[in-house]
């Protein structure tokens, strides 16, 4: 071996003393394998090298899947904690007006939505004075409004939670914020036998916050707690 190709003595001693640093360096190992293949010539196929490449590719895919699963688990845990915090805040008020004002305030902030509106169907033409004071959160609508708003009059099977992207919000619900709303969650509310249904609408400026591809279990749980709380006020 000539002096030009001789390995540096200090590097050689380091490799001999700690061979693991070579084995654990993937780029270095690939360079050594490639050099070995060139030394063997083009008429020899290294089946072991091919097998190792396939194993490395499979390991990379497994690691990517592992990272995706962990990320999804953390996201689900964060969403669960968020819903729990919103429910606890929802249960704090002991009067109806603070209950609804919190809905458009701290509860909306916890859920990170830009607007929350409660729709109550009523056969009365005009809401009473108490409900009129809650116009920033509460909308009183004619019977049938909830089904028409959620299903657009198609008569589709009713679902508790509907997540969708929209071009803009309904001004009747969102008021001045309507033109900025790009996605919404519609939660149907059942107040019990003999009562008209209700609707809780969560609007977001982010078009990707609520989409049909997202899970609805947590939102369904939130809707169940909310409608049971409302039954207490409506009793």
Strands across the sheet containing 198-204: 138-141, 115-121, 198-204, 183-189, 161-165
Rg, Å, the chain Cα set: 31
3-state secondary structure the chain: CCCCCCCCHHHHHHHHHCCHHHHCCHHHHHHHHHHHHHHHCCCCCCHHHHHHHHHHHHHHHHHHHHHHHHHHHHHHHHHHHHHHHHHHHHCCCCCHHHHHHHHHCHHHHHHCCCEEEEEEECCCCCCCHHHHCCCCCEEEECCCHHHHHHHCCCCCCCCCEEEEECCCCCHHHHHHHHHHCCEEEEEEECCCCCCCCEEEEEEECCCCCCCCCCCCHHHHHHHHHHHHHHHHHHC
Give the CATH number of the domain where residue 218 resides: 3.30.450.40
Place of tokens 């050689």: 12
Check pLDDT > 90 for residue 48. Answer: no
Which range among 24-28, 108-112, 120-124, 175-179 shows the weakest confidence by mean pLDDT?
A: 24-28
Does the pLDDT value for residue 165 go beyond 80?
Answer: yes
Per-residue model confidence (pLDDT) at position 11: 77
Mean pLDDT for 176-194 is: 92
- Going by pLDDT thresholds of 50, 70 and 90, the confidence category of residue 1 is very low
**Is residue 192 domain-resident?**
yes
- Give the pair of three-digit tokens for residue 131: 């409900």
Whether the Cβ atoms of residue 116 and residue 201 lie closer than 8 Å to each other: yes
In this predicted structure, what is the pLDDT of residue 156? 60
Q: Which of 124, 105, 122, 125 is nearest to 113 (CA)?
A: 105
Q: Which domain holds residue 219?
A: 95-234
Instruction: Give domain status of residue 31, yes or no.
Output: no
Whether the pLDDT of residue 106 is over 80: the answer is yes
- Tally the domains of the chain: 1
Is 206's pLDDT higher than 80?
yes
| Domain membership flag for residue 41 | no
pLDDT at 108 over 50: yes
208 lies in some domain: yes
Per the domain annotation, does 66 fall within a domain?
no
Match 């008020």 to its residue by tokens: 93
Higher pLDDT pick, 41 / 160: 160
200, 191 Cβ separation under 8 angstroms: no
Of 25-34, 167-176, 202-211, 225-234, which has the strongest mean pLDDT?
202-211
- State in Å, rounded, how far the first CA of the chain is from the last one: 95
Task: Report if residue 119 sits inside a domain.
Answer: yes
Q: Does residue 68 sit within a domain? A: no
How confident is the model at residue 2, as a pLDDT?
46
Q: Which of these, 215, 217, 219, lies nearest to 202 by C-alpha position?
A: 219
Considering the entire predicted model, what is its pTM? 0.68
Any domain includes 83: no
Find the mean pLDDT for residues 173-178. Answer: 89
Lowest mean pLDDT among 9-13, 118-122, 136-140, 208-212: 9-13
Residue 163 half-sphere exposure toward CB, CA atoms < 13 A: 16
């Amino acid at each position: 071996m000539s002096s030009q190709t001789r390995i540096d003595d200090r590097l050689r001693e380091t490799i001999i003393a700690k061979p693991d640093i070579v084995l654990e360096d993937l780029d270095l190992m690939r360079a050594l394998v490639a050099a070995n293949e060139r030394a063997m010539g083009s008429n020899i196929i290294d089946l072991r090298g091919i097998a190792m490449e396939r194993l490395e590719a499979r390991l990379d895919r497994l690691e990517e899947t592992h990272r995706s699963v962990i990320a999804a688990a953390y996201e689900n845990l964060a969403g669960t904690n968020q819903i729990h915090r919103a429910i606890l805040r929802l249960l704090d008020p002991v009067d109806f007006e603070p209950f609804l004002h919190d809905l458009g305030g701290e509860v909306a902030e916890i859920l990170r939505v830009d607007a929350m509106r409660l729709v109550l169907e009523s056969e009365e033409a005009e809401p009473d004075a108490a409900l009129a004071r809650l116009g920033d959160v509460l909308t009183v609508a004619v019977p049938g409004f909830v089904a028409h708003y959620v299903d657009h009059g198609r008569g589709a099977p009713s679902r508790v939670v509907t997540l969708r992207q929209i071009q803009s919000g309904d001004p009747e619900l969102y008021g001045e914020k309507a033109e900025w709303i790009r996605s919404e969650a519609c939660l149907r509310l059942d107040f019990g036998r003999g009562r008209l249904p209700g609707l809780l609408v969560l609007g977001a400026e982010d078009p990707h916050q609520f989409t049909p591809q997202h899970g609805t279990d947590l939102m369904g749980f939130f809707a169940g707690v909310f409608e049971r709380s409302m039954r207490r006020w409506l009793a």
